[in-house]
Amino acid sequence: MVAELSSNKRKLRAFASIELPKGLIENYRVSDVSKLTQLLQELWIRLRLREKTVGIILPEFSTFTKFFKIPKLSLSELNEAVVWQAQEYLPSALKDMEMDWKIVNKDLSGYEVLIVAVEKQILSDFVEAAENAGLFPLSVETPSICLVRLTKDIQEGALIVYQNLTETVLVISQKEKIIGSSVVRGNDGKEIIRTAVRMVAHYKNIKTENILVGGLMDSSLPQKLSEQFKLKVTPIKPGIMGDEKIIQEYAIPLSQQLQEPAEPSDPASLNLLPGGLVERYKHENLRLQVWGLTLTVTLFVWTSFLITLGAYLWMMQQLNEMKIQNQSSPIALERQKATADVKDINSISEKVLSVKKISVLPQKIFNDVYKVKPSKVKIVSWGLDLDKGEISISGEAQDRESLIEFKQKLEGNSDITAISIPISSFEKDTNLDFQVRFSYVPIAVTNKEAKPKPTQEVVK
Please determine, looking at this structure, whether the domain spanning 362-459 carries the CATH number 3.40.190.10: no
pLDDT at 292: 61
Whether the per-residue pLDDT at 235 is higher than 80: the answer is: yes
Q: What is the DSSP letter of 451?
A: P
Looking at the domain 142-237, which fold is it? Nucleotidyltransferase; domain 5 (3.30.420)
Task: State residue 195's pLDDT score.
Answer: 92
Instruction: Give, for 81, the enclosing helix (H) or strand (E).
Output: helix 75-86
Distance CA 78, CA 381 (A): 26
CB of 304 within 8 A of CB of 352? yes
pLDDT in tens, 389-410: 888 999 998 988 888 888 888 8
Q: Report the percent of the chain where pLDDT is more than 70.
A: 85
pLDDT beyond 50 at 3: yes
Which residues partner with 12 through β-bridges?
A: 5
pLDDT of 420 over the 60 cut: yes
CB atoms within 10 A of CB 205: 7
| pLDDT the model gives residue 459 | 39
Residue 381 clears pLDDT 70, i.e. is over it? yes
Provide mean pLDDT across the span 69-80. Answer: 83
Cα-flanking dihedrals φ and ψ of residue 252, to 5°?
-70, -55
As a whole number of angstroms, the distance between CA 444 and CA 116 comes to 50
CA distance 112 to 67: 7
Chain-centre distance for alpha carbon 203: 35
How would you classify the pairing of strands 167-174 and 110-119? unpaired
Distance CA 158, CA 427 (A): 42
Residue 119 forms beta bridges with which residues?
97
pLDDT: is 379 or 459 the higher one? 379
Contacts of 78 (CB under 8 A, 6+ apart): 70, 111, 267
Mean pLDDT value across residues 51-55: 84
Contact 214, 146 (CB under 8 A): no
How many beta carbons lie within 10 A of that of residue 107, not counting itself?
9
Is 293's pLDDT higher than 80? Answer: no
Q: Identify the sign of the CA torsion 274, 278, 279, 280.
A: positive
